[in-house]
């Protein structure tokens, strides 16, 4: 869209400053978020306008106005955000043209401010809008003004001449030179390896390999900080090791808003306090290691204790870490207003024992928090497996195993091959872990049932050929066999919990998305239509990933403390990333690869599901098609030919950065990527990226507390192997099965710590922007694009109706299951604004 210059463009009657002869006045408003503890912008903060239509032939940039200072400062509200609105008036030549960019100079001595937007009022009810949503640091630190472009989209070749050089210069600044340690105020995006996980200066047990850049340890890249390397090994980036660490570099535009920072800190304090209070009670009563019974577990975790709202030690730690005293006070108030108890998780709200059932165990593979691993069994017997037809033939509703496989009714949850190389090392860490294979049968009523579980350990060298040592368990409902069956299912759940948190959640959403963000900031101008399309799907990802590396994934971090792989967790995720393909991440391709669907051009989404009542896939395909329709129509609006895609220099530079640097360790696999040489390939690649950042992340993240909030349902570690016949352990199991179970699963300290973690991860924050929403209606001035977005929202609302109808259908057994938990994780909630643990809603981005 071009911006024609009109001599009568300016509304002189609205001017608050009288125009001189030959000049016109432009009035505008500047909206700044209220940031706790930081100085507000004052008269020392000034703005200048660049013309988007008239070129200064000396600079080859748009004509530049004189500086204009902010005036006033009235408290206001924009959505839920507390803001301050300022006035500004520019005096420009009559032939200045239409503004195309604004340069903001923060004259504060030391404090930054968060600029939401700038609006310039023109004649005949027209306005020019600059959607900023960025931190602006003092010019004394940055040595330059902060530049923002208008909300009009331009492909590189269609950029107005007055903005072309500004566009190129801005991208060069964002790419930086790859040298030096990054400063808080710098907006520089560069790639680096995961060399910040270890702490070699502490001891050898805290040494971790560098991930990324080698065939031995491939990994996606993260954002470079340039911090000094450890003197202990010369490769590990140094950092502070503390409970609440906010001392790290993130480009300012990627940081939480002030309100979200306070909210996340409050959730963190509450979660840690939720952990501290039960543990303090346990120490007082002498129940330090184990819960004595399931009743005690439920009572200690979910009943409201007469305790303070936050632990004093935690608040003291927070006070020294937050950026200001006002932020601390804001967090303290949020904490005080929230009761200190874990909410009762959905999986035990209606029936405290439904989680034990085989049907619920199997249903959660289709509709639980990790529904992306189950595969169809395509051949039997399994390679190197001890499961035989004798184990399962009586459970197949009259079919032979060959018939069941042929009719696509046999499925497998396979946690075997990737685990076996690590089991010897993992089991030296004080845990008792098997590799597992679980076979399942699709019954006539559409529900799955487990028919056999194989638990394996590496051979000890005494067996012939060093073969695995395996045991097979089959369903049982009474006596010792039932207790053994429950323990076998528990070991499977432990495997699946580790894979879920480490792979399905962290690697396949958080880690793999970050390189796309870094590359986009480096190569796509803020004016580029694809940048505008992807912008909401990048929100807060880099901030939350940096927090994760600091608190969860680092040596001795929460993930190593709570999940069974321990210090081998990230190395294991590197091994799995070695086979990652971006093309496999599209939902249809993923379902086909796992054998859960077959390609069928006549079917919805081009695939035909083999389990009709597969809630994740059924709802997911509806969401996928809605995203795909929106993305295809958006791309077609800007690219009218395949040649326009192939000839877009910024787009191709972005894709090269993603493939050859950000995911450079996967560049040798030709099947990993589509070439961006057609509109169709572009739309498919963007649909996949948006699906991963929004819907896939929602499906594997926001159900965590609902299912894993009751630790026995999703334990993260096992401390005892399944007892052997005639052993003292078998006698203990037979004497007191519940006590043996509680001594086998995660100890109370680790379980409570893990519960505190997933409570935070399962929360929606108040500034969440959901799929189909935008933070502001002024994100673009393209009327047709806004109509396309309205159509997308309409499609998502239709998805919501379908989800509600399916959840009411009693014939769809997997929609609720024995635990009566309706499947809502892919309910878009386009108009919803609920915060907290809701178990529904698809945020635009990997934001927590």
The pLDDT confidence band at residue 241, using thresholds 50, 70 and 90, is low
The whole-angstrom separation of Cα 58 and Cα 62 is 10
**Cβ atoms of 57 and 49 closer than 8 Å:** no
Exposure class string for 720-740: b at 16+ Cβ within 10 A, else e? bbbbeeeeebbeebeeebeeb
pLDDT at res. 320: 56
Catalytic pick from 290, 589, 701, 763? 701
The pLDDT confidence band at residue 35, using thresholds 50, 70 and 90, is confident
Tell me the β-bridge partners of 27: 89, 121
- pTM beyond 0.85, yes or no: yes
The whole-angstrom separation of Cα 514 and Cα 781 is 28
pLDDT of 553 strictly over 50: yes
Cα(first)–Cα(last) distance of the chain, in Å? 36
pLDDT at res. 396: 98
pLDDT of 103 strictly over 60: yes
Question: Could you give the percent of the chain with pLDDT greater than 70?
Answer: 89
The pLDDT confidence band at residue 464, using thresholds 50, 70 and 90, is very low
pLDDT at res. 326: 55
pLDDT at res. 557: 87
pLDDT at res. 835: 82
Catalytic pick from 510, 528, 610, 764? 510
The whole-angstrom separation of Cα 529 and Cα 535 is 10
The number of residues in the chain equals: 848
The whole-angstrom separation of Cα 312 and Cα 319 is 10
What would the pLDDT profile of 673-722 be if each residue is shown by its tens digit? 999 999 999 999 999 999 999 999 999 999 999 999 999 999 999 999 99
Contacts of 203 (CB under 8 A, 6+ apart): none
pLDDT-wise least confident of 150-159, 329-338, 589-598, 822-831: 329-338
Question: Could you give the percent of the chain with pLDDT greater than 90?
Answer: 74
Contacts of 644 (CB under 8 A, 6+ apart): 155, 638, 679
What dihedral angle (degrees, nearest 10) is formed by the CA atoms of 698, 242, 133, 830?
A: 20
Helices (H), 104-211: 139-142, 161-175
pLDDT-wise least confident of 82-91, 227-236, 578-587, 673-682: 227-236
pLDDT at res. 6: 37
**Cβ atoms of 752 and 275 closer than 8 Å:** yes
pLDDT at res. 624: 98
Q: Average pLDDT for residues 52-73, to the nearest whole number?
A: 96
Whether 697 is catalytic is: yes
**Cβ atoms of 152 and 527 closer than 8 Å:** yes
Three state DSSP letters for 458-522: CCCCCCHHHCCEEEEECCCCCHHHHHHHHHHHHHHHHHHHHHHHHHHHHHHHHHHHHHHHHHHHH
**Cβ atoms of 43 and 730 closer than 8 Å:** no
pLDDT at res. 511: 98
Whether 510 is catalytic is: yes
The whole-angstrom separation of Cα 661 and Cα 515 is 8
Structure tokens at 285: 């009563």
Q: Average pLDDT for residues 745-768, to the nearest whole number?
A: 88
pLDDT-wise least confident of 46-60, 320-334, 397-411, 555-569: 320-334
The whole-angstrom separation of Cα 194 and Cα 387 is 40
Higher pLDDT, 229 or 568: 568
Nearest by Cα to 774 from 763, 762, 790, 761: 790
The whole-angstrom separation of Cα 382 and Cα 410 is 12
| DSSP assignment string, 772-814 | T--S-TTS---HHHHHHHHHHHHHHHHHHHHHHHHHH-TT-GG
Nearest by Cα to 564 from 369, 746, 365, 414: 746
pLDDT at res. 14: 37
The whole-angstrom separation of Cα 378 and Cα 359 is 22
Burial class (CB in 10 A: 0-12, 13-18, 19+), 530: buried
The pLDDT confidence band at residue 304, using thresholds 50, 70 and 90, is low
Catalytic pick from 505, 528, 610, 764? 505
What would the pLDDT profile of 327-377 be if each residue is shown by its tens digit? 556 556 655 655 557 899 999 999 999 999 999 999 999 999 999 999 999
pLDDT at res. 28: 96
Q: Average pLDDT for residues 123-148, to the nearest whole number?
A: 91
Catalytic pick from 129, 217, 274, 697? 697
Higher pLDDT, 408 or 234: 408
pLDDT-wise least confident of 238-242, 517-521, 596-600, 641-645: 238-242
Structure tokens at 153: 């989209």
Whether 701 is catalytic is: yes
pLDDT-wise least confident of 284-298, 382-396, 450-464, 541-555: 284-298
What would the pLDDT profile of 316-329 be if each residue is shown by its tens digit? 555 555 555 655 56
| Phi, psi torsion values for 689, nearest 5 degrees | -65, -45
pLDDT at res. 524: 98
Q: What is the mean pLDDT of the chain?
A: 90
Q: Average pLDDT for residues 509-515, to the nearest whole number?
A: 98
The whole-angstrom separation of Cα 514 and Cα 224 is 12
pLDDT of 17 strictly over 60: no
Strand bridging mode 99-105 / 81-93? unpaired
The whole-angstrom separation of Cα 337 and Cα 142 is 39
Q: Average pLDDT for residues 302-314, to the nearest whole number?
A: 54
pLDDT at res. 308: 46
Q: Average pLDDT for residues 134-157, to the nearest whole number?
A: 95
The pLDDT confidence band at residue 270, using thresholds 50, 70 and 90, is low
pLDDT at res. 749: 83
Q: How far is CA 463 from CA 29, 422, 428, in A?
A: 78, 19, 21
Nearest by Cα to 456 from 436, 474, 440: 436
């Amino acid at each position: 869209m071009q911006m024609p210059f009109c001599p009568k463009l300016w509304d002189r009657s609205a001017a608050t400053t009288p125009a001189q002869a030959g000049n016109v006045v432009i009035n505008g408003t500047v909206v700044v978020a209220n940031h706790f503890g930081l100085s507000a912008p004052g008269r020392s903060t000034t703005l200048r306008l660049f013309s988007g239509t008239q070129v200064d032939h000396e600079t080859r940039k748009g004509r530049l106005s004189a500086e204009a200072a902010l005036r006033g400062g009235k408290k206001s509200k924009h959505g839920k955000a507390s803001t301050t609105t300022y006035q500004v008036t520019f005096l420009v030549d009559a032939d200045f043209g239409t503004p195309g960019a604004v340069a903001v100079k923060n004259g504060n001595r030391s404090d930054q401010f968060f600029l939401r937007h700038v609006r310039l009022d023109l004649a005949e009810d027209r306005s020019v809008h600059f959607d900023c949503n960025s931190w602006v640091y003092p010019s004394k630190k940055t040595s330059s003004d902060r530049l923002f472009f208008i909300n009009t989209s331009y492909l590189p070749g269609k950029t107005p001449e007055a903005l072309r050089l500004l566009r190129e210069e801005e991208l060069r600044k964002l790419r930086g030179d790859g040298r030096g340690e990054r400063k808080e105020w710098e907006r520089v995006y560069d790639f680096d390896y995961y060399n910040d996980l270890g702490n070699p200066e502490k001891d050898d047990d805290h040494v971790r390999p560098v991930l990324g850049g080698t065939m031995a340890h491939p990994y996606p890249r993260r954002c470079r900080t340039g911090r000094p390397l450890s003197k202990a090994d010369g490769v590990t980036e140094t950092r502070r090791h503390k409970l609440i660490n906010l001392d790290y570099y993130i480009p300012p535009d990627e940081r939480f808003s002030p309100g979200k920072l306070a909210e996340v800190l409050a959730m963190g304090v509450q979660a840690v306090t939720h952990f501290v209070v039960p543990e303090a009670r346990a120490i007082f009563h002498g129940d330090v290691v184990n819960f004595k019974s399931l009743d005690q577990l439920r009572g200690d975790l979910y009943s409201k204790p007469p305790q303070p709202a936050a632990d004093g030690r935690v608040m003291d730690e927070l006070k020294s870490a937050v950026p200001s005293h006002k932020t601390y006070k804001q967090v303290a108030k949020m904490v005080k207003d929230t009761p200190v108890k874990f909410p009762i998780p959905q999986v035990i709200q209606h029936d405290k024992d439904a989680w034990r059932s085989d049907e619920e165990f199997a249903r959660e593979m289709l509709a639980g928090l990790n529904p992306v691993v189950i595969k169809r069994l395509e051949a039997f017997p399994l390679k190197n497996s001890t499961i035989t037809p004798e184990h399962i033939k009586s459970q197949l509703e009259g079919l032979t195993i060959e018939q069941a496989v042929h009719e696509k009714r046999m499925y497998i949850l396979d946690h075997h091959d990737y685990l076996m190389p690590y089991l010897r090392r993992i089991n030296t860490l004080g845990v008792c872990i098997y590799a597992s294979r679980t076979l399942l049968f699709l019954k006539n009523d559409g529900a799955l049932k487990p028919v056999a579980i194989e638990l394996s350990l590496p051979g000890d060298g005494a067996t012939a050929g060093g073969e695995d040592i395996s045991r097979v368990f089959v369903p049982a409902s009474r006596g010792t066999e039932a207790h053994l069956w429950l323990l076998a299912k528990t070991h499977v759940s432990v495997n699946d919990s580790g894979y879920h948190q480490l792979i399905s959640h962290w690697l396949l959403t958080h880690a793999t998305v970050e390189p796309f963000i870094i590359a986009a900031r480096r190569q796509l101008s803020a004016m580029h239509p694809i940048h505008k399309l992807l912008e909401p799907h990048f929100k807060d990802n880099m901030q939350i990933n940096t927090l994760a590396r600091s608190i969860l994934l680092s040596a001795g971090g929460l993930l190593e403390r709570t999940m069974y792989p321990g210090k081998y967790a990230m190395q294991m995720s590197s091994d799995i990333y070695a086979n990652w393909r971006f093309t496999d991440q599209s939902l249809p391709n993923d379902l086909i690869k796992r054998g859960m669907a077959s390609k069928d051009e006549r079917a919805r989404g081009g695939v035909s599901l083999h389990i009709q009542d597969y809630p994740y896939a059924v709802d997911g395909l509806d969401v996928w098609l809605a995203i795909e329709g929106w993305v295809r129509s958006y791309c077609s609006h800007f690219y009218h030919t395949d040649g326009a895609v192939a000839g877009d220099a910024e787009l191709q530079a972005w894709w090269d950065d993603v493939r050859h640097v950000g995911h450079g360790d996967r560049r040798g696999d030709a099947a990993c990527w589509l070439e961006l040489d057609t509109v169709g390939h572009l739309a498919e690649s963007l649909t996949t990226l948006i699906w991963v950042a929004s819907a896939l992340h929602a499906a594997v993240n926001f159900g965590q507390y609902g299912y894993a909030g009751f630790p026995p349902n999703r334990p993260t570690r096992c401390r005892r192997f399944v007892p052997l016949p005639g052993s003292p352990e078998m006698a203990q199991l037979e004497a007191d099965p519940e006590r043996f179970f509680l001594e086998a699963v995660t100890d109370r300290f680790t379980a409570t710590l893990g519960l505190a973690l997933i409570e935070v991860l399962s929360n929606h924050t108040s500034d969440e922007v959901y799929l189909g929403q935008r933070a502001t209606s002024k994100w673009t001035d393209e009327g047709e694009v806004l109509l396309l977005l309205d159509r997308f929202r309409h499609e998502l609302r239709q998805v919501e109706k379908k989800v509600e109808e399916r959840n009411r259908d009693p014939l769809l057994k997997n929609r609720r299951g024995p635990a009566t938990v309706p499947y809502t994780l892919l309910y878009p909630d386009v108009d919803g604004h609920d915060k907290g643990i809701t178990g529904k809603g698809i945020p635009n981005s990997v934001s927590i």
